[in-house]
Copies of this chain bind each other. A is one copy, B any other.
Amino acid sequence: MTEVTTPRVAIIGAGAVGRGWATVAVAQGWGVTLFDATTAVAEDARAEVVERVRRLRRMGLAQDGDAKTGLGAFHTGRSLLHAVTDADWIIDAGSDDLGQRQRSLEQVEQVDRRAAVITSSSNRHHASQLCARLRRPERLLCVNPLPPMEFMPVVEVVPGPLTDPACVEAVRFWLRRLGRSPIVLHREVPGNLSGRLAAAVWRECIHLVLEGVIAVDDLDRAFSAGPAVAWSAAGPLLEQYLAAGERDLNLHISDLLGAYEEWWTSLSRRERLDADEQHRLVRALEKAYHARLPTLRVEREQRLAALVHPARKS
């Protein structure tokens, strides 16, 4: 399958995730057909993707020639059949409803090419669940990008127990050609890597806010200018490997665990938020940010664009 160097791409679902995939593939000059059951959504998505590709070109993150080729070969599908019939790579970016996605994938299989590889972008469902209605489940794997995809090179690749390793290799090859940095998980786990890390971080952050230890905006500012910068320069495990310096690594890790084990016992154990806690959290978020919303959005995008250049070197 890896013989296909430049796959024809079909994207099913024109929500945020489908738009991200379309942006990245079109910017690379690949032929992309985007399909959504709601035509108005597909048309709106088309306009947004065109604008995002042009922006990447202005920022020097897409080649002029590639972007021009890609924009010329970017279509919305008139039907599912029309979208997937020629595709080498079918990207399922549908709703979060498991049953709907299983039925949609079943329909895809009725009209696609046998040689096509199917990837599902979902951090809520695994390939082993999504393939339930497929006759050839070995062609399916999960591939989860982070938003906004054009600035976030990391993509989690999670094969199911039935996935053909050749399909995994084909997808990794295509992802690298798209400038992505594929990371393979050896096993399906709830939330995959990024979801679990976000859940662990959020649990502790909202605990500290709800307990009155720190204000929402102070916490965000401390996190974004502190640990997040350190972990952008080196992941949390490498950071401590380097922090050991010339000391014996065993001793360094022992000391570190001495502190962590003390703190682990006091970290939040929350497994849910009750209605009152959720209300207090939403109110605290509104209070911290509501008045500055438009500015904050622009500042975040500017910072992301500035950060992505050093980050892409990794």
Partner-contacting stretch, out of A54-62, A98-106, A110-118, A229-237:
A229-237
State whether A307 touches B232 (Cβ < 8 A).
Answer: yes
* Chain A, interface SS category: helix
Contact mask for chain A residues 190-212; partner B; CB cutoff 8 A; 1 contact, 0 none: 11011111111111111011011
Q: How many whole Å from A209's CB to the nearest CB in chain B?
A: 7
State whether B221 touches A314 (Cβ < 8 A).
Answer: yes
Residues in B whose Cβ lies below 8 Å from that of A73: none
User: Any chain B CB within 8 A of the CB of A282?
Assistant: yes
CB within 8 Å of B: which A277-314 residues: 278, 281-282, 285-286, 288-289, 293, 296-297, 300-301, 303-304, 306-308, 310-314
Residues in B whose Cβ lies below 8 Å from that of A197: 201, 204-205, 223, 227
State whether A230 touches B146 (Cβ < 8 A).
Answer: yes
CB within 8 Å of B: which A149-202 residues: 151-154, 156, 181, 183-187, 189-191, 193-202
- Indicate whether A232 sits within 8 Å of B241 (C-beta atoms), given known contacts A190-B266, A218-B183: no
Q: How many whole Å from A274's CB to the nearest CB in chain B?
A: 11
State whether A229 touches B307 (Cβ < 8 A).
Answer: yes
- Indicate whether A242 sits within 8 Å of B205 (C-beta atoms), given known contacts A218-B183, A303-B233: no
